[in-house]
Amino acid sequence: MPAPLLPRDAVVDRLLAAFREHGYDAASLGQLSKITGLGRSSLYHYFPGGKEDMARAVFERVDRWCDAELFGPAGTAEDPDRRLARMIEALDAFFAGGMAACLFGNFVVGSARSIFQEPLGAAFGRWIDGFAALAMDKGIPGPEARRRAEDAVMRLQGALVLSRGLDDPAPFRRVLDELPAQLLG
Amino acid sequence: MPAPLLPRDAVVDRLLAAFREHGYDAASLGQLSKITGLGRSSLYHYFPGGKEDMARAVFERVDRWCDAELFGPAGTAEDPDRRLARMIEALDAFFAGGMAACLFGNFVVGSARSIFQEPLGAAFGRWIDGFAALAMDKGIPGPEARRRAEDAVMRLQGALVLSRGLDDPAPFRRVLDELPAQLLG
DNA sequence: GTCTATAATAGGATAGAC
DNA sequence: GTCTATCCTATTATAGAC
Protein backbone atom coordinates (compact mmCIF):
# COMPACT_ATOMS: atom_id res chain seq x y z
CA MET A 1 0.00 0.00 0.00
CA PRO A 2 1.22 3.51 -0.79
CA ALA A 3 2.07 5.70 2.19
CA PRO A 4 -0.40 8.44 3.07
CA LEU A 5 0.27 11.69 1.25
CA LEU A 6 -0.96 13.65 4.23
CA PRO A 7 -1.64 12.79 7.86
CA ARG A 8 -5.34 12.76 8.56
CA ASP A 9 -5.15 15.91 10.66
CA ALA A 10 -3.58 17.79 7.78
CA VAL A 11 -6.36 16.61 5.50
CA VAL A 12 -8.97 17.82 7.96
CA ASP A 13 -7.21 21.18 8.21
CA ARG A 14 -7.46 21.69 4.49
CA LEU A 15 -11.07 20.59 4.42
CA LEU A 16 -11.73 23.13 7.14
CA ALA A 17 -10.29 25.88 4.98
CA ALA A 18 -12.63 24.89 2.15
CA PHE A 19 -15.77 24.68 4.30
CA ARG A 20 -14.96 28.05 5.86
CA GLU A 21 -14.55 29.73 2.51
CA HIS A 22 -17.44 28.13 0.62
CA GLY A 23 -19.86 26.84 3.25
CA TYR A 24 -21.11 23.28 3.41
CA ASP A 25 -23.35 22.90 0.37
CA ALA A 26 -21.11 24.83 -1.98
CA ALA A 27 -17.95 22.95 -1.06
CA SER A 28 -17.81 20.40 -3.88
CA LEU A 29 -15.94 17.11 -3.78
CA GLY A 30 -13.89 18.40 -6.67
CA GLN A 31 -12.72 21.38 -4.65
CA LEU A 32 -12.15 19.25 -1.58
CA SER A 33 -10.17 16.79 -3.66
CA LYS A 34 -8.10 19.58 -5.15
CA ILE A 35 -7.41 21.40 -1.90
CA THR A 36 -6.32 18.22 -0.13
CA GLY A 37 -4.38 16.88 -3.09
CA LEU A 38 -6.25 13.58 -2.66
CA GLY A 39 -8.39 11.85 -5.25
CA ARG A 40 -12.05 11.31 -4.56
CA SER A 41 -11.44 7.70 -3.60
CA SER A 42 -8.81 8.66 -1.04
CA LEU A 43 -11.24 11.09 0.52
CA TYR A 44 -13.80 8.30 0.73
CA HIS A 45 -11.18 6.14 2.37
CA TYR A 46 -10.75 8.71 5.15
CA PHE A 47 -14.42 9.62 5.23
CA PRO A 48 -16.64 6.70 4.15
CA GLY A 49 -19.75 8.79 4.70
CA GLY A 50 -18.71 11.32 2.06
CA LYS A 51 -19.06 15.04 2.42
CA GLU A 52 -21.16 14.83 5.55
CA ASP A 53 -18.42 12.80 7.24
CA MET A 54 -15.82 15.32 6.14
CA ALA A 55 -17.85 18.19 7.56
CA ARG A 56 -18.35 16.24 10.79
CA ALA A 57 -14.61 15.70 11.15
CA VAL A 58 -13.98 19.37 10.47
CA PHE A 59 -16.66 20.36 12.96
CA GLU A 60 -15.14 18.17 15.67
CA ARG A 61 -11.69 19.53 14.94
CA VAL A 62 -12.88 23.09 15.47
CA ASP A 63 -14.64 21.97 18.65
CA ARG A 64 -11.38 20.49 19.93
CA TRP A 65 -9.52 23.62 18.95
CA CYS A 66 -11.94 25.69 21.00
CA ASP A 67 -11.48 23.45 24.02
CA ALA A 68 -7.71 23.53 23.74
CA GLU A 69 -7.00 27.11 22.77
CA LEU A 70 -10.03 28.96 24.00
CA PHE A 71 -11.62 27.31 26.99
CA GLY A 72 -8.88 24.93 28.05
CA PRO A 73 -7.06 27.78 29.78
CA ALA A 74 -10.28 28.44 31.70
CA GLY A 75 -9.45 25.54 33.98
CA THR A 76 -6.06 26.93 34.93
CA ALA A 77 -5.24 29.02 37.97
CA GLU A 78 -4.10 31.89 35.77
CA ASP A 79 -6.01 35.11 36.36
CA PRO A 80 -8.95 35.87 34.03
CA ASP A 81 -7.35 38.89 32.37
CA ARG A 82 -4.32 36.93 31.26
CA ARG A 83 -6.45 34.02 30.12
CA LEU A 84 -8.59 36.36 28.05
CA ALA A 85 -5.49 37.94 26.56
CA ARG A 86 -4.38 34.53 25.35
CA MET A 87 -7.83 33.74 23.99
CA ILE A 88 -7.79 36.97 22.04
CA GLU A 89 -4.43 36.09 20.53
CA ALA A 90 -5.76 32.67 19.57
CA LEU A 91 -8.92 34.14 18.03
CA ASP A 92 -6.92 36.67 16.06
CA ALA A 93 -4.77 33.95 14.56
CA PHE A 94 -7.59 31.47 13.98
CA PHE A 95 -9.71 34.01 12.14
CA ALA A 96 -6.78 35.54 10.25
CA GLY A 97 -7.39 38.96 11.73
CA GLY A 98 -11.07 38.81 10.82
CA MET A 99 -10.71 37.86 7.17
CA ALA A 100 -11.42 34.14 7.62
CA ALA A 101 -15.01 33.07 8.15
CA CYS A 102 -16.33 31.01 11.05
CA LEU A 103 -17.29 27.42 10.29
CA PHE A 104 -20.12 27.52 12.82
CA GLY A 105 -21.35 30.79 11.37
CA ASN A 106 -21.39 29.25 7.90
CA PHE A 107 -23.32 26.23 9.10
CA VAL A 108 -26.40 28.18 10.17
CA VAL A 109 -27.60 28.15 6.54
CA GLY A 110 -28.38 25.51 3.96
CA SER A 111 -28.49 21.81 4.57
CA ALA A 112 -25.68 22.06 7.14
CA ARG A 113 -28.18 23.75 9.39
CA SER A 114 -30.45 20.71 9.53
CA ILE A 115 -27.64 18.16 9.55
CA PHE A 116 -25.65 19.83 12.33
CA GLN A 117 -28.44 21.54 14.23
CA GLU A 118 -27.72 19.87 17.56
CA PRO A 119 -23.89 20.04 17.63
CA LEU A 120 -24.17 23.59 16.32
CA GLY A 121 -26.33 24.69 19.22
CA ALA A 122 -24.00 22.87 21.61
CA ALA A 123 -20.94 24.57 20.11
CA PHE A 124 -22.42 28.04 20.45
CA GLY A 125 -23.51 27.10 23.96
CA ARG A 126 -19.95 26.16 24.89
CA TRP A 127 -18.66 29.46 23.57
CA ILE A 128 -21.11 31.30 25.76
CA ASP A 129 -20.36 29.07 28.75
CA GLY A 130 -16.63 29.56 28.29
CA PHE A 131 -16.83 33.32 28.20
CA ALA A 132 -19.31 33.36 31.09
CA ALA A 133 -17.02 31.21 33.24
CA LEU A 134 -14.24 33.69 32.63
CA ALA A 135 -16.39 36.63 33.66
CA MET A 136 -17.59 34.83 36.79
CA ASP A 137 -13.98 34.06 37.72
CA LYS A 138 -13.45 37.78 37.59
CA GLY A 139 -16.21 38.18 40.17
CA ILE A 140 -19.05 39.18 37.87
CA PRO A 141 -22.39 37.76 39.03
CA GLY A 142 -23.83 34.86 37.03
CA PRO A 143 -26.68 36.51 35.08
CA GLU A 144 -24.57 39.53 34.14
CA ALA A 145 -21.64 37.27 33.21
CA ARG A 146 -23.91 35.29 30.93
CA ARG A 147 -25.27 38.42 29.31
CA ARG A 148 -21.77 39.66 28.62
CA ALA A 149 -20.69 36.27 27.31
CA GLU A 150 -23.59 36.19 24.84
CA ASP A 151 -22.66 39.70 23.79
CA ALA A 152 -19.07 38.64 23.22
CA VAL A 153 -20.10 35.77 20.94
CA MET A 154 -22.52 37.96 19.01
CA ARG A 155 -19.95 40.70 18.57
CA LEU A 156 -17.31 38.25 17.34
CA GLN A 157 -19.68 36.61 14.88
CA GLY A 158 -21.03 39.95 13.71
CA ALA A 159 -17.55 41.39 13.36
CA LEU A 160 -16.50 38.49 11.15
CA VAL A 161 -19.49 39.09 8.88
CA LEU A 162 -18.89 42.83 8.79
CA SER A 163 -15.13 42.61 8.27
CA ARG A 164 -15.61 40.23 5.38
CA GLY A 165 -18.50 42.27 4.00
CA LEU A 166 -16.48 45.49 4.09
CA ASP A 167 -13.28 43.63 3.20
CA ASP A 168 -11.68 45.47 6.09
CA PRO A 169 -10.23 43.86 9.22
CA ALA A 170 -10.90 46.94 11.36
CA PRO A 171 -14.26 45.89 12.86
CA PHE A 172 -12.91 42.52 13.98
CA ARG A 173 -9.76 44.20 15.29
CA ARG A 174 -11.84 46.61 17.33
CA VAL A 175 -14.03 43.88 18.81
CA LEU A 176 -10.94 41.98 19.91
CA ASP A 177 -9.41 45.13 21.41
CA GLU A 178 -12.58 45.96 23.31
CA LEU A 179 -13.23 42.43 24.49
CA PRO A 180 -11.39 42.73 27.84
CA ALA A 181 -13.41 45.79 28.90
CA GLN A 182 -16.63 44.43 27.41
CA LEU A 183 -16.43 41.05 29.12
CA LEU A 184 -14.45 41.66 32.30
CA GLY A 185 -14.53 45.46 32.82
CA MET B 1 -48.84 35.05 -24.83
CA PRO B 2 -49.89 33.65 -21.47
CA ALA B 3 -50.26 36.15 -18.66
CA PRO B 4 -47.53 36.22 -16.02
CA LEU B 5 -48.15 33.81 -13.18
CA LEU B 6 -46.55 36.21 -10.77
CA PRO B 7 -45.61 39.88 -10.91
CA ARG B 8 -41.85 40.27 -11.12
CA ASP B 9 -41.64 41.68 -7.59
CA ALA B 10 -43.33 38.60 -6.20
CA VAL B 11 -40.86 36.41 -8.06
CA VAL B 12 -37.96 38.36 -6.60
CA ASP B 13 -39.47 38.02 -3.12
CA ARG B 14 -39.51 34.25 -3.40
CA LEU B 15 -36.01 34.17 -4.79
CA LEU B 16 -34.94 36.23 -1.80
CA ALA B 17 -36.37 33.64 0.55
CA ALA B 18 -34.35 30.93 -1.18
CA PHE B 19 -31.07 32.84 -1.22
CA ARG B 20 -31.51 33.69 2.46
CA GLU B 21 -32.07 30.10 3.43
CA HIS B 22 -29.47 28.41 1.24
CA GLY B 23 -26.93 31.08 0.33
CA TYR B 24 -25.92 31.92 -3.21
CA ASP B 25 -23.97 28.87 -4.39
CA ALA B 26 -26.26 26.32 -2.82
CA ALA B 27 -29.46 27.84 -4.21
CA SER B 28 -30.02 25.70 -7.28
CA LEU B 29 -32.15 26.63 -10.27
CA GLY B 30 -34.32 23.67 -9.44
CA GLN B 31 -35.09 25.05 -6.01
CA LEU B 32 -35.56 28.54 -7.40
CA SER B 33 -37.89 27.19 -10.05
CA LYS B 34 -39.87 25.26 -7.47
CA ILE B 35 -40.15 28.10 -4.96
CA THR B 36 -41.29 30.58 -7.62
CA GLY B 37 -43.58 28.13 -9.34
CA LEU B 38 -41.95 29.09 -12.64
CA GLY B 39 -40.20 26.78 -15.04
CA ARG B 40 -36.53 27.27 -15.76
CA SER B 41 -37.31 29.01 -19.03
CA SER B 42 -39.59 31.52 -17.35
CA LEU B 43 -36.85 32.33 -14.88
CA TYR B 44 -34.48 32.92 -17.78
CA HIS B 45 -37.07 35.16 -19.35
CA TYR B 46 -37.06 37.35 -16.24
CA PHE B 47 -33.34 36.98 -15.63
CA PRO B 48 -31.44 36.33 -18.87
CA GLY B 49 -28.15 36.22 -16.97
CA GLY B 50 -29.27 33.22 -14.94
CA LYS B 51 -28.62 32.83 -11.24
CA GLU B 52 -26.27 35.77 -11.01
CA ASP B 53 -28.98 38.02 -12.45
CA MET B 54 -31.49 36.62 -9.97
CA ALA B 55 -29.15 37.27 -7.07
CA ARG B 56 -28.51 40.77 -8.35
CA ALA B 57 -32.23 41.51 -8.49
CA VAL B 58 -32.68 40.13 -4.99
CA PHE B 59 -29.73 42.16 -3.73
CA GLU B 60 -31.15 45.35 -5.18
CA ARG B 61 -34.54 44.58 -3.73
CA VAL B 62 -33.10 44.28 -0.24
CA ASP B 63 -31.15 47.48 -0.81
CA ARG B 64 -34.37 49.25 -1.74
CA TRP B 65 -36.14 47.76 1.27
CA CYS B 66 -33.41 49.18 3.52
CA ASP B 67 -33.76 52.62 1.98
CA ALA B 68 -37.52 52.59 2.31
CA GLU B 69 -38.08 50.92 5.67
CA LEU B 70 -34.83 51.53 7.48
CA PHE B 71 -33.12 54.69 6.34
CA GLY B 72 -35.91 56.38 4.46
CA PRO B 73 -37.42 57.60 7.74
CA ALA B 74 -34.00 59.13 8.53
CA GLY B 75 -34.84 62.01 6.24
CA THR B 76 -38.03 62.89 8.06
CA ALA B 77 -38.45 65.44 10.79
CA GLU B 78 -39.58 62.78 13.24
CA ASP B 79 -37.40 62.54 16.35
CA PRO B 80 -34.63 59.90 16.38
CA ASP B 81 -36.17 57.73 19.10
CA ARG B 82 -39.40 57.29 17.22
CA ARG B 83 -37.56 56.66 13.97
CA LEU B 84 -35.45 53.98 15.65
CA ALA B 85 -38.54 52.40 17.14
CA ARG B 86 -39.98 52.03 13.66
CA MET B 87 -36.71 50.64 12.32
CA ILE B 88 -36.71 48.04 15.08
CA GLU B 89 -40.22 46.99 14.17
CA ALA B 90 -39.21 46.69 10.53
CA LEU B 91 -36.08 44.67 11.39
CA ASP B 92 -38.06 42.34 13.61
CA ALA B 93 -40.51 41.60 10.82
CA PHE B 94 -37.93 41.38 8.05
CA PHE B 95 -35.80 38.90 9.98
CA ALA B 96 -38.76 36.92 11.30
CA GLY B 97 -37.81 37.61 14.90
CA GLY B 98 -34.25 36.50 14.28
CA MET B 99 -34.96 33.16 12.62
CA ALA B 100 -34.46 34.35 9.04
CA ALA B 101 -30.91 34.86 7.81
CA CYS B 102 -29.52 38.04 6.30
CA LEU B 103 -28.86 37.99 2.56
CA PHE B 104 -25.83 40.25 2.94
CA GLY B 105 -24.50 38.06 5.71
CA ASN B 106 -24.86 35.00 3.50
CA PHE B 107 -23.06 36.69 0.64
CA VAL B 108 -19.77 37.11 2.51
CA VAL B 109 -18.87 33.49 1.65
CA GLY B 110 -18.47 31.47 -1.52
CA SER B 111 -18.58 32.85 -5.03
CA ALA B 112 -21.13 35.49 -4.01
CA ARG B 113 -18.33 37.18 -2.10
CA SER B 114 -16.28 37.79 -5.24
CA ILE B 115 -19.24 38.53 -7.48
CA PHE B 116 -20.89 41.02 -5.12
CA GLN B 117 -17.85 42.33 -3.26
CA GLU B 118 -18.40 45.97 -4.18
CA PRO B 119 -22.17 46.27 -3.68
CA LEU B 120 -21.78 44.23 -0.51
CA GLY B 121 -19.31 46.68 0.98
CA ALA B 122 -21.54 49.54 -0.11
CA ALA B 123 -24.60 47.92 1.49
CA PHE B 124 -22.88 47.42 4.83
CA GLY B 125 -21.56 50.97 4.55
CA ARG B 126 -25.08 52.31 4.10
CA TRP B 127 -26.26 50.40 7.15
CA ILE B 128 -23.52 52.00 9.22
CA ASP B 129 -24.17 55.43 7.71
CA GLY B 130 -27.88 55.12 8.39
CA PHE B 131 -27.46 54.24 12.03
CA ALA B 132 -24.74 56.87 12.47
CA ALA B 133 -26.98 59.57 11.01
CA LEU B 134 -29.63 58.63 13.53
CA ALA B 135 -27.20 58.87 16.44
CA MET B 136 -25.89 62.22 15.23
CA ASP B 137 -29.44 63.55 14.95
CA LYS B 138 -29.74 62.67 18.61
CA GLY B 139 -26.76 64.91 19.31
CA ILE B 140 -24.06 62.27 19.57
CA PRO B 141 -20.73 63.48 18.12
CA GLY B 142 -19.64 62.05 14.77
CA PRO B 143 -16.89 59.61 15.75
CA GLU B 144 -18.86 58.20 18.68
CA ALA B 145 -21.98 57.95 16.53
CA ARG B 146 -20.06 56.02 13.92
CA ARG B 147 -18.62 53.65 16.52
CA ARG B 148 -22.10 52.95 17.90
CA ALA B 149 -23.49 52.47 14.42
CA GLU B 150 -20.82 49.89 13.57
CA ASP B 151 -21.59 48.18 16.86
CA ALA B 152 -25.27 48.08 16.01
CA VAL B 153 -24.63 46.41 12.66
CA MET B 154 -22.25 43.89 14.20
CA ARG B 155 -24.65 43.06 16.98
CA LEU B 156 -27.53 42.56 14.57
CA GLN B 157 -25.49 40.34 12.25
CA GLY B 158 -24.02 38.40 15.16
CA ALA B 159 -27.40 37.99 16.78
CA LEU B 160 -28.83 36.52 13.58
CA VAL B 161 -26.01 33.98 13.45
CA LEU B 162 -26.37 33.15 17.12
CA SER B 163 -30.15 32.94 17.12
CA ARG B 164 -30.08 30.59 14.16
CA GLY B 165 -27.20 28.61 15.63
CA LEU B 166 -28.97 28.16 18.95
CA ASP B 167 -32.35 27.88 17.22
CA ASP B 168 -33.57 30.43 19.74
CA PRO B 169 -34.89 33.91 18.93
CA ALA B 170 -33.83 35.31 22.33
CA PRO B 171 -30.43 36.77 21.33
CA PHE B 172 -31.91 38.67 18.39
CA ARG B 173 -34.80 39.82 20.57
CA ARG B 174 -32.40 41.15 23.18
CA VAL B 175 -30.30 43.02 20.62
CA LEU B 176 -33.41 44.70 19.26
CA ASP B 177 -34.59 45.60 22.77
CA GLU B 178 -31.23 47.06 23.70
CA LEU B 179 -30.72 48.91 20.44
CA PRO B 180 -32.26 52.24 21.59
CA ALA B 181 -29.93 52.46 24.61
CA GLN B 182 -26.94 51.10 22.72
CA LEU B 183 -27.26 53.51 19.79
CA LEU B 184 -28.93 56.62 21.20
CA GLY B 185 -28.57 56.31 24.99
C1' DG C 1 -44.62 34.40 -20.86
C1' DT C 2 -44.76 29.69 -20.35
C1' DC C 3 -43.94 25.15 -21.72
C1' DT C 4 -41.34 20.59 -23.02
C1' DA C 5 -37.20 18.82 -24.58
C1' DT C 6 -32.43 18.60 -24.62
C1' DA C 7 -27.56 19.58 -24.51
C1' DA C 8 -23.46 19.77 -21.89
C1' DT C 9 -21.39 19.84 -17.55
C1' DA C 10 -20.63 19.05 -12.76
C1' DG C 11 -22.27 16.90 -8.79
C1' DG C 12 -21.82 12.78 -5.14
C1' DA C 13 -20.62 8.22 -4.70
C1' DT C 14 -18.74 3.43 -5.85
C1' DA C 15 -15.82 -0.57 -7.92
C1' DG C 16 -11.84 -2.71 -8.57
C1' DA C 17 -6.88 -2.61 -9.93
C1' DC C 18 -2.41 -1.86 -7.86
C1' DG D 1 -3.89 4.41 0.57
C1' DT D 2 -4.19 5.87 -3.96
C1' DC D 3 -5.51 5.50 -8.55
C1' DT D 4 -8.56 5.35 -12.93
C1' DA D 5 -12.85 4.41 -14.59
C1' DT D 6 -17.58 4.55 -14.09
C1' DC D 7 -22.59 5.31 -12.63
C1' DC D 8 -26.35 8.05 -11.78
C1' DT D 9 -28.31 12.16 -10.55
C1' DA D 10 -28.61 17.03 -10.60
C1' DT D 11 -26.95 21.03 -12.46
C1' DT D 12 -26.88 25.32 -15.65
C1' DA D 13 -28.31 26.82 -19.82
C1' DT D 14 -30.51 26.86 -24.43
C1' DA D 15 -33.86 25.85 -28.35
C1' DG D 16 -38.11 26.01 -30.22
C1' DA D 17 -43.23 25.16 -29.95
C1' DC D 18 -47.43 27.47 -28.47
pLDDT digits (tens, 9 = 90+) for B57-73: 999 999 999 999 888 76
Give average pLDDT by consecutive 10-residue segment, chain A, 185 residues.
Answer: 80 98 98 95 96 98 94 79 97 98 98 98 98 97 98 98 98 98 97
Q: Report the nucleotide nearest the CA of residue B28, measured to C1'.
A: D11
CB-closest option in B22, B113, B154 to A155: B154
List strand C contacts in A 1-30 (CB < 7 A).
Answer: 2, 27-30
Task: Report pLDDT for B73.
Answer: 65
Answer yes or no: is B46 CB < 7 A from strand C.
Answer: yes
Give the CA B164 to C1' D4 distance in Å.
43
Q: What is the pTM of this model?
A: 0.97
pLDDT of residue B174 exceeding 60? yes
On average, the pLDDT of chain B sits at 95
Task: Report pLDDT for B96.
Answer: 98
Residue A135, Cβ density class (10 Å: 0-12 exposed, 13-18 middle, ≥19 buried): buried
Task: Report pLDDT for A77.
Answer: 78
Residues B83-118: pLDDT tens digits?
Answer: 999 999 999 999 999 999 999 999 999 999 999 999
Task: Report pLDDT for A53.
Answer: 97
Q: Which B residues, 96 through 125, put their C-beta within 8 Å of a C-beta on chain A?
A: 101-102, 104-111, 113, 117, 120-121, 123-125
How large a percentage of chain B has pLDDT more than 70?
97
List the domain boundaries for chain B. Answer: 59-184
Mean local confidence (pLDDT), B41-55:
96
pLDDT of residue B1 exceeding 90? no
Alpha helices in B37-169, H assignment, sequence order: 40-46, 51-65, 80-94, 103-106, 110-115, 117-137, 142-166
Half-sphere exposure of A3 (CA within 13 A, CB side): 3
Half-sphere exposure of B103 (CA within 13 A, CB side): 26
Task: Report pLDDT for B74.
Answer: 62
pLDDT of residue B154 exceeding 60? yes
Q: Which H or E run includes B29?
A: helix B29-36
Task: Report pLDDT for B42.
Answer: 94
Give the CA B165 to C1' D16 distance in Å.
47
